[in-house]
């Protein structure tokens, strides 16, 4: 099917003011590293070097933790909830005021389409601060237990798929509950976290309440291992999550781990097929499929499978893949060369194991990291592409005959983060939601996020919840939970 021709509609990057290099944000100011080195962060759509960023050492992490402890004991931990709430409201408003700057920077550093960073990442990040600002003076009435109190200093390590949004998921509840923070953004996407440091200054937050240390895995490990961290919050791969759980076993540190997923998006024969096709596209091609809760396994009822596949492939041929800054782009660049290699390796395994590979045949830019929207049919449950998180724009299609078979296949995964159900029958939705071992079950929609709604997984998708009252509870101790 032919695509409409659109003239290019690039968003201007003039709104972003990039420094050639960045230090670490510790105790309210940017400082030089002590014994660390530097690395470059690139635009994955062009391979252009955007800036040079500090690879923080263990000594830097220690300085950040000391600053966070001082801020907690001296100011933030003693401040009234109402006053903390004012700072969070201020941060939320500044994020809204500087929304375009954040959206363009996120797209430059991450490769995601501007329409997603502009319409999803940044508004949701602001919404998280607004939501948690509202809780700051009401914690005693949130049903968390008797006398909720902050843990103290929280170490937070976040991934590259939603850099600003994951920062908001982590920092907003931590601050609302009176904790101070040392946060490490991912190596490939540090820039919006560093711009957030500027927001922290603009909001006049007391020094040391938020500290941002950039770096690679070793910096994250230094946060995890630091003896004066009270609680850890991690989002990323299950492999690293397990390492963190092992590192803190036997210590007093609390942790929440939000890890991988291999969600089933389940289409019943009575579903509204065209809407379901949109839901499939949103489920796996949103954010290039770099989404922990992506609907990466399509389970479609056997008697409509051919029809769904035909309509899906036709729809995928209309997706625009290319310049992430272009407002018409649907699918942007793969975040890094390493991630592209992983996707390439897993899709090759899919073919080798006998699944049928199809892609939308679109032209790809000559420079940068790109992968065509891809669909595998004839997938069986033992294939690696049905079991492992590909974290790219790749859909594996399986079929089922009965609701029981759909449930059995959907739950046949080490993960349990999310699932989607498409049917016209309300009773079936409720039955399915009850049977599916997934933290979030979407009905006749997919990838919908809201700060009021708890998010998190079962099994190897991690433990703890983020968002809503359940998310707050991870950031406090009470007389009942110690």
Return residues touching ligand NDP (CB under 6 A).
157-161, 184, 186-187, 216-217, 220-221, 224, 235-237, 240, 243, 259-260, 292, 339, 342, 389, 391
Looking at the Cβ atoms of 89 and 463, the one nearer to ligand NDP is 463
Residue nearer to ligand NDP on the CB measure, 161 or 374: 161
Catalytic residue selected from 11, 106, 258, 309: 258
399 Cβ contact list (under 8 Å, min separation 6): 299, 300, 301, 302, 305
Residue 128: which of 159, 89, 156 has the closest Cα?
89
| Closest CB to ligand NDP among residues 66, 186 | 186
Q: Which of 188, 87, 184 is nearest to 129 (CA)?
A: 87
Would you say how long the chain is, in residues? Answer: 482
Shortest CB 60 distance to ligand NDP, Å: 14
Distance in angstroms (rounded) separating the CA atoms of residues 294 and 421: 13
Report strand pairing: 49-55 vs 21-22.
parallel
* Nearest distance, CB of residue 401 and ligand NDP, angstroms: 31
Which residue lies nearest ligand NDP, judged by its C-beta? 220
Q: Considering beta carbons, is residue 263 or 436 the nearer one to ligand NDP?
A: 263
Q: Least distance from C-beta 235 to ligand NDP, angstroms? A: 5
Q: What's the closest the beta carbon of residue 282 comes to ligand NDP, in angstroms?
A: 17
Tell me, yes or no, if 258 is annotated catalytic. yes
Provide the greatest CA pair distance for the chain. Answer: 65
Cβ atoms 261, 418 nearer than 8 A: yes
CB of 25 to ligand NDP, least distance (A): 16
Nearer to ligand NDP, 260 or 403 (CB): 260
In the complex with ligand NDP, which residue's Cβ is closer, 92 or 244? 244
| Apex 67 CA angle, 62 and 70, nearest 5 | 125
* CB 265, min distance to ligand NDP, A: 17
d(CA 67, CA 181): 9
Task: Give catalytic residues, as residue numbers.
Answer: 258
């Amino acid at each position: 099917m032919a695509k409409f021709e659109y003239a290019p509609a690039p968003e201007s990057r003039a709104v972003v003011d990039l420094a050639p290099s960045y230090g670490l944000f510790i105790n309210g100011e940017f400082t030089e590293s002590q014994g660390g080195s530097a690395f470059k962060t690139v635009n994955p759509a062009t391979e252009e070097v955007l800036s040079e960023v500090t690879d923080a050492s263990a000594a830097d992490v220690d300085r950040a933790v000391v600053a966070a402890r001082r801020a907690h004991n001296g100011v933030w931990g003693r401040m009234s909830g109402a006053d903390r709430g004012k700072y969070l409201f201020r941060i939320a408003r500044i994020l809204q005021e500087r929304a375009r700057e954040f959206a363009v920077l996120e797209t430059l550093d991450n490769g995601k389409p501007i329409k997603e960073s502009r319409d999803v990442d940044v508004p949701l990040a602001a919404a998280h601060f607004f939501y948690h600002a509202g809780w700051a003076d009401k914690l005693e009435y949130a049903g968390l237990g008797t006398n909720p109190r902050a843990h103290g200093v929280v170490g937070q390590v976040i991934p590259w798929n939603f850099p600003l949004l994951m920062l908001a998921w982590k920092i907003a509840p931590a601050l609302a509950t009176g904790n101070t923070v040392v946060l490490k953004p991912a190596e490939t996407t540090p820039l919006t976290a560093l711009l957030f440091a500027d927001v922290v200054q603009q909001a006049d937050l007391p020094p040391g309440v938020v500290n941002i240390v950039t770096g690679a895995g070793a910096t994250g490990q230094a946060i995890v291992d630091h003896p004066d961290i009270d609680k850890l919050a991690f989002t990323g791969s299950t492999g690293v999550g397990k390492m963190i759980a092992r590192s803190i076993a036997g210590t007093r540190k609390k942790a929440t781990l939000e890890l991988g997923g291999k969600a089933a998006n389940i289409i019943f024969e009575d579903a509204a097929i065209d809407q379901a096709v949109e839901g499939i596209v949103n489920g796996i091609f949103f954010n290039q499929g770099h989404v922990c809760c992506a609907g990466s396994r399509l389970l479609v009822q056997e008697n409509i499978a051919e029809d769904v596949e035909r309509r899906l492939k036709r729809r995928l041929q209309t997706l625009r893949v290319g310049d992430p800054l272009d407002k018409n782009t649907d699918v942007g660049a793969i975040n890094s060369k390493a991630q592209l290699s992983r996707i390439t390796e897993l899709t090759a395994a899919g073919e080798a194991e006998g699944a049928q590979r199809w892609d939308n045949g679109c032209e790809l830019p000559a420079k940068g990291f790109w992968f065509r929207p891809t669909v595998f049919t004839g997938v069986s449950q033992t294939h690696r592409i049905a079991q492992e998180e590909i974290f790219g724009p790749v859909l594996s299609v399986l079929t089922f005959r009965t609701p029981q078979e759909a449930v059995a296949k959907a739950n046949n995964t080490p993960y349990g983060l999310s699932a989607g159900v498409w049917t016209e029958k309300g009773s079936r939705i409720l039955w399915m939601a009850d049977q599916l071992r997934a933290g979030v079950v979407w009905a006749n929609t997919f990838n919908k996020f809201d700060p009021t709604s708890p998010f998190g997984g079962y099994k190897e998708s991690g433990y703890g919840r983020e968002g809503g009252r359940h998310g707050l509870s991870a950031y406090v101790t009470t007389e009942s939970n110690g």
